[in-house]
Amino acid sequence: MNNSIKTALITGASRGIGLELTKKLISEGWSVIALIRSNFPENEIDIKMKIKEGKIRIYKADLSNFTELKLTINSIKENEEVIDILFNNAGGSFDKKYYSAQSRELHFELHTVVPYILLFELKSLLKKGSDKLIVNTSTNAFKFINKITYENLMRPKKFKKLIGPYSTSKLAMSLWSQEISSELSKEGLKILCVDPGGNNTLRNDRKNGIPFFLIHITKWFFPHPSKGAELLYNASIGRPPHQTGSYVTNGKKGELKFKEYSKSILAEIQSIYLKDYLK
């Protein structure tokens, strides 16, 4: 592999914001490690060409299933030489409560736990990169929540679209990211959480977690997911750089709610990684 070519790993690279980010990076000369569950769309001819050229390398897994995730991560570590930027982008807003193979609420598993696992499992490849950057896709929807507890993150008693498990799981991820940033800095790594804003990622073949009253607004007024990809790109590759641990929204550093819980949330996620994933 040409070491002058930078490499990004993108989870959820085959749809929505992840797909647009993949296309953006490829157009800028990057290579992409696509960690995905579903195939790229058949009509993406340029993507197919880049796959044949080896500039997009595909690894498949259901990220919420630790058995599949571990096998795929091991394959990445065996076959890849370096990761310059890790984009933890996979997930979404679901229409009801679902649970992972480990019996935790699916938003929480995908948005909060899995990014931590990927960070620590792929840290050796990130350290070999030039950017040494982790970018976690966040949201600004958590500004509407008024409570967060660890038990409710794992097994929520009630479900609300968008401002329920989706928002709390993104907030929890942003909190542990900010909390761990100083520790990562000692190893030369940088971490950001970036809000890609509202994007029209509605799909006819999939139920979504958008409240009914927002569906038409999303369809007619929210921008194409390339806008969200642009915000992720600008926050991570653009200038001036953001300070590690920052939560970036609308291109600027934002503030997180419930920062008093960041240490305890990080401790719980570390425990899941050590006792559940590494068991």
pLDDT, tens only, 1-43: 455 799 999 999 999 999 999 999 999 999 999 999 999 999 9
Which DSSP string do the residues of 48-105 spell out, in sequence order? Answer: HHHHHHTSEEEEE--TT-HHHHHHHHHHHHHH----SEEEE------SS--B-TTSSB
- Whether residue 84 contacts residue 38, with contact meaning beta carbons closer than 8 Å, is answered with no
CATH for 7-277 (3.20.20.60, 3.40.50.720, 3.40.50.150, 3.40.50.300): 3.40.50.720
Q: What is the pTM of this model?
A: 0.92
Q: Is pLDDT above 50 for 187?
A: yes
First-residue to last-residue Cα distance in the chain: 34
∠ CA 9-12-13, rounded to 5°: 60
Query: CA 99 to CA 106: how far, in whole Å?
Result: 5
pLDDT at 1: 47
Domains of the chain, residue spans: 7-277
pLDDT per residue as tens digits for the range 259-271:
999 999 999 999 9
